[in-house]
């Protein structure tokens, strides 16, 4: 019995592979290596280079490796890019997921875990957002993921398939053992950008907007350590295998930090100052995005072990330093 991890050479997927191997699972990775890295895949996993939309390939992998569960991370993830290239996002995230679901149904894979996103919600306001909040994606990225949730819902109603969709909030940090981390060049996410600035990989960083209706005027996000996120997937896998029903659940800690609080944390953990410039708002940013995570805690028995901003930053900084040594760029 094996677990198929799509996008297993990417940031979250490569952590998932380690989490599964550490738990004694057999793992097959399907990744076309467009943004992921072969070296990020744990050597004990089998890596197949190919496309998740390739139904025949997926069916062959399922048969060869006795796959009983698919954890689907592969996809395009940059929100502004999805606005510029919506059809690419619908192709990569929606059409290919459709094919993957069909391959799962045809080859008898009963358990499907899908990486969804907080971007399926509309502008949330300051309160933590629950799963039954209004679904109103503000980008093709969010909509491409929401359509995949809907396809899973309908396929699960019609076929012998059960699914869990986990809606990620702001994923950050890296494997504390230093085995993998966020390695994609051209980072836009706050914690990675701040770490790069701290380590001198960029001359300065900017704070996008200081006039939001938040306590210090900068945007608030719910930053979740990537290891807690993949742990939630492992629990979801266990639950599905034990016969648990379909589930859509938020993955965040339930409290947020402002941009300035994150930068303070990076300064504190790194131990030295770096240049931070105040700038105007970045188009499309919501002022606050925080998860209500009661459902994941209740249904999955999820108990985060890394709910500590300085700890997340510490692991992100350590990975950034390791990347510099690796000279990947």
Q: Which is nearer to ligand UDP, 95 or 187 (CB)?
A: 187
Closest distance to ligand UDP from the beta carbon of 289 (Å): 6
Of 11, 90, 121, 141, which residue is the catalytic one? 141
> 25 vs 228, which CB is nearer to ligand UDP?
228
Nearer to ligand UDP, 134 or 282 (CB): 282
Q: Compute the distance between CA of residue 153 and CA of residue 192 in angstroms, rounded to an integer.
A: 34
Min separation Cβ 206 and ligand UDP, Å = 5
Closest of 315, 176, 197, 201 to residue 259, by C-alpha:
197
C-alpha 133/C-alpha 31 separation (Å) is 33
Neighbours of 211 (CB within 10 A): 10
Say which DSSP state 289 is in: E
Closest contact distance (angstroms) between CB of 118 and ligand UDP is 8
- Is there a contact between 256 and 124 (Cβ–Cβ < 8 Å)? no
Closest of 93, 89, 47 to residue 74, by C-alpha? 93
Q: Which two tokens stand for residue 316?
A: 């992100």
Nearer to ligand UDP among residue 87 and residue 279 (C-beta): 279
| 257 given a catalytic annotation | no
**Tokens 């080859």 -> residue:** 107
Nearest distance in Å: CB 317, ligand UDP: 16
For helices 11-22 and 226-241, what crossing angle results, to 10°? Answer: 60
Least Cβ distance, residue 46 to ligand UDP (angstroms): 32
Residue sitting closest to ligand UDP (CB): 219
Q: Name residues whose C-beta falls within 8 Å of residue 98's C-beta, 6 or more positions apart in sequence.
A: 148, 151
Shortest separation between residue 41's beta carbon and ligand UDP, angstroms = 25
Which residue has 């390695």 as its token pair?
A: 183
Question: Which CB atom, from 120 or from 161, has the smaller least distance to ligand UDP?
Answer: 120
Specify the pairing of strand 276-279 against strand 205-208.
Answer: parallel
Name which of 289 and 313 has its Cβ closer to ligand UDP: 289
Site residues (CB under 6 A) for ligand UDP? 170, 188-190, 193, 205-208, 219, 221, 259, 282, 285, 289
Three-class HEC string of 13-78: HHHHHHHHHHCCCCEEEEECCCCCCHHHCCCCCEEEECCCCCHHHHHHHHHHHCEEEEEECCCCCC
- Buried b or exposed e, range 198-208, using 16+ CB within 10 angstroms: bbebeeebebb
Return the active site residues: 141
């Amino acid at each position: 019995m094996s677990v198929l991890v799509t996008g297993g050479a990417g940031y979250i997927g490569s952590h998932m592979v380690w989490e599964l191997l550490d738990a004694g699972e057999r793992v097959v990775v399907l990744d076309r290596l467009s943004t992921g890295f072969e070296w990020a895949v744990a050597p004990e996993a089998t890596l197949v280079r190919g496309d998740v939309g390739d139904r025949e390939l997926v069916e062959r992998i399922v048969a060869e490796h006795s796959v009983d569960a698919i954890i689907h991370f592969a996809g395009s993830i940059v929100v502004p890019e999805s606005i510029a290239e919506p059809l690419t996002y619908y192709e990569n995230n929606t059409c290919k997921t459709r094919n993957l679901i069909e391959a799962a149904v045809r080859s008898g894979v009963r358990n499907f875990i899908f990486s969804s996103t907080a971007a399926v919600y509309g502008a949330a306001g300051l309160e933590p957002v629950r799963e039954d909040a209004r679904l109103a994606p503000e980008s093709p990225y969010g909509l491409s993921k929401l359509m995949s949730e809907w396809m899973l819902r309908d396929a699960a109603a019609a076929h012998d398939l059960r699914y869990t969709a986990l809606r990620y909030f702001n994923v950050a940090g890296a494997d504390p053992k230093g085995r993998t981390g966020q390695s994609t060049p051209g980072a836009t996410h706050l914690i990675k950008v701040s770490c790069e600035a701290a380590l001198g990989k960029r001359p300065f960083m900017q704070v996008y907007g200081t006039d939001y209706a938040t306590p210090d005027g900068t945007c608030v996000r719910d930053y979740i350590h990537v290891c807690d996120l993949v742990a939630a997937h492992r629990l979801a896998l266990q639950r599905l295998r034990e016969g648990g029903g379909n589930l859509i659940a938020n993955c965040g800690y339930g409290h947020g930090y402002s941009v300035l609080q994150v930068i303070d944390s990076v300064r504190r953990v790194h131990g030295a100052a770096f240049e931070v410039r105040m700038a105007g708002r970045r188009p499309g940013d919501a002022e606050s995005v925080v998860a209500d995570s009661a459902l994941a805690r209740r249904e999955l028995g999820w108990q985060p072990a890394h709910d500590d901003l300085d700890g997340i930053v510490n692991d992100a900084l350590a990975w950034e330093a390791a990347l510099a040594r690796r000279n990947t760029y």
